[in-house]
Each structure stands twice: as structure tokens, then as C-alpha cells.
Amino acid sequence: MNVGEGSAAPPQPGESGDELIAEAVRRLRAGAVVAFPTETVYGLGADAESESGVAAIYRIKRRPRGHPLIVHVPDRAGADYWAEIGPRAAALIAAFWPGPLTLVLARRSGVSSLACGTEITVGLRCPSHPVARKLLAAFVAAGGHGIAAPSANLFGRVSPTSVEHVVDDLGADTPLLLEGGDSEHGVESTIVDLSRGFPALLRPGSISAAQIEAVLEEPLEGPGAAAPRVAGALAAHYATATALELVAPQRLAQRVAQCRQRGERIAVWSRLRPEAAAGASWEPAPADPVAYARRLYATLRRLDAQALERILVEEPPAEPEWAAVRDRLGRAQAGAGTHLSRSGSAGT
């Protein structure tokens, strides 16, 4: 689809064909921004070496300038421009690129640091979505080296997994928007830090810690105090405007009853509908972690739009395959209800 820069026109069905890709590349090379789909969430992209483009990302998202962006590249050769690819990085690239894995590496001397915040590292990802891949190929063919792209939403808010979410969040600031359907994975990429001589998991995602460890044949460390700052790792993030509360399954019925007794307008997202939730909005939760992740942000956005006082979410299982979902919900709970609308200042 084509939502023109500075336009809040509603989404219309369409294809991100060659002409639209060419126009997106032209805008990127001119220092403007575009929004585009990836297999994780929709991104707000700029030429990673363009001062005006990177500045526009921070302005539109209301993102603090010290927070680094992830640079998207089309392949291993694209990553070589930004960082030296050691054996660990090479193994993970061979196993998982293109795909939802971001590698944090020591940045090469002399390359642009505009997208890196205050860090000496750079986060690199090679997306698998066909529209993103077509865009990156055309961008590199036009002389570019990488597209810096955080999620295409206001800073701290629930990430967008459809074109409608992008327009809802960015409004009049919506740039040229490439259509690519709903996001396949629904949560942001796994982030692995390889910049400190050992592998560390900085953010869980669709690619699990166990999968990464199997390729590296060594355990992943935790972030640690000296970990580089990366996207989406603040304690409060992915937040709804409505207060959100994670509740253990055994306490859910009691908590629902308490809220209902106080006359609160609530929604409940759980696998089974608690009896006390009669009259409340109830959303059935998938029992499969992959399906849950795919629906996570769309569900939070839909519940957030219902003028509620509280969203109660049944805690997902404490099992490795649920790590990404639990991470996002925990950060959403920490930030929920604290940020302001588009007309106010950014919160978390």
C-alpha cells in the first residue's frame, strides 16, 4: 500500500511492487523515512548513514536519542561492512539469517555511528520478509549499506504487526508505508551480544536460547551489568495506555472477582474464562506459544481500545518456549498506563 509521507490516510489494499519499492529507496537515499513489514513487526526505516533520516526516526517515534537502532542488511556481505564477523557470528548467520535474529557486534572503525546511540557496538539483522528483502536489495543496489529501523510506533507503545497499527500510532507522521500483511512472528527479534568475547542473550525472541546454544555449542550468558544498550530492553516497554496486570492462573478468578466487585471495567485474557468474568470482556488465549506470540500485540491493542480500566492477563507458563511472550508481557505490565497519547510527551 502507499500511505504518503505526512498523510494519515486509512490503509487500502495494495501490493508493494517494484515502483513502490523504487520510490521507497529514493526517499531513503534522500534522507526521509519509510515504514515496511518484517517477519517480526513493522519497522520505521531510514538510511543508517543519513543524519536527517536517523533524526527523523527519533523525532517521529519520540525516542530518546541515546537508544540505539537495529541496522537491517540484506546478507552476510552487508554485515561485513558494519562489523568484523567472527566465528560465533558467522555460525549464527549461517544458521538463522535471514530471520528474526539480531547480532550485537563491535562496530568497525570509520563506519557511521548515527544508528548506534552512545554505543561502540552495532546491532545487525537480516530480515526474511519478502518485502523487506526486496527493499534492502534495491537499497544496496542504489548505494546504501543498511536501513536503521526500530518498530514503527511511538516509543514505549505496543509494537505494530499490521499496517493499521502503524497508521493508528503515527497518524499524520505516517511515512510511505509498504504493505506486507500481518507479521508472521509477532514479537521482535532475538538479540544476542557477541561484542564482549562471550555470547549473551539480551532479548528473547522467536529463535530460542536453546537453538542458539546448539549452534554455538556453548551456553549463553545473561546480559550482565556491562551489556551494551539495545532496542526494546527497558524494564517498561510494549505498553498499553490501560493498566495491565499479569495474574497467576490460580489467582485469576479471585482477582477478576475483586475487580468486578469494585465496579471496574476490565478485560480478561486467559485460556479458560473465569466464572467471575461474566459481563466482562474476555479474550481466549492460545495454548501454543507460537500462536500466542503472533497474536500478542494485536490483542493488546484491541483490548486497549475498549475504554477499560484494567486488563488482566493470565501469566503464561514459565517454560523456555514462552520466554519471549513472558518478556514482552512483563515489560508491558511495567509500563502500562504510564505513557501519554500521541498529543502528549512520550513515556517509557
pLDDT digits (tens, 9 = 90+) for 77-110: 999 999 999 999 999 999 999 999 999 999 999 9
Q: What is the mean pLDDT of residues 271-291?
A: 91
Domain end (from 216, 235, 268): 216
The answer to whether position 24 is within a domain reads yes
What is the rounded distance in angstroms from the CA atom of residue 57 to the CA atom of residue 67?
A: 11
- The values of phi and psi at residue 284, to 5°, are -70, 130
The answer to whether position 6 is within a domain reads no
Q: What is the mean pLDDT of residues 286-291?
A: 97
What is the rounded distance in angstroms from the CA atom of residue 34 to the CA atom of residue 181?
A: 16
Same domain, 200 and 67: yes
User: What residues make up the domain containing 153?
Assistant: 18-216
Whether residue 343 has pLDDT greater than 70: no
pLDDT classification of 5: cutoffs 50, 70, 90: very low
Burial label for 5, CB within 10 Å (0-12, 13-18, 19+), is middle
Nearest to 348 by CA among 115, 63, 69, 118: 63
Same domain, 186 and 248: no
CATH of the domain at 281: 3.40.50.11030
Same domain, 134 and 277: no
Contacts of 10 (CB under 8 A, 6+ apart): 167
Q: What is the mean pLDDT of residues 71-82?
A: 98
Whether residue 311 has pLDDT greater than 70: yes
Domain end (from 174, 198, 216): 216
Nearest to 240 by CA among 150, 154, 152: 154
Same domain, 49 and 171: yes
Mapping DSSP to helix (H, G, I), strand (E, B) and coil, where does residue 71 land? strand
CATH of the domain at 153: 3.90.870.10
pLDDT at 278: 82
Same domain, 179 and 51: yes
Whether residue 14 has pLDDT greater than 50: no
pLDDT at 229: 87
Domain count, the chain: 2
Total Cβ atoms within 10 A of residue 226: 8
Whole-model pTM?
Answer: 0.91
pLDDT in tens, 209-222: 999 999 999 999 99
Same domain, 148 and 208: yes
Residue whose C-alpha cell is 548467520: 93
The residues that bridge with 157 in the sheet, in sequence order, are: 239
The answer to whether position 46 is within a domain reads yes
Same domain, 211 and 275: no
The answer to whether position 278 is within a domain reads yes
Whether residue 153 has pLDDT greater than 60: yes
Report whether 332 contacts 239 (CB < 8 A). yes
Total Cβ atoms within 10 A of residue 234: 18
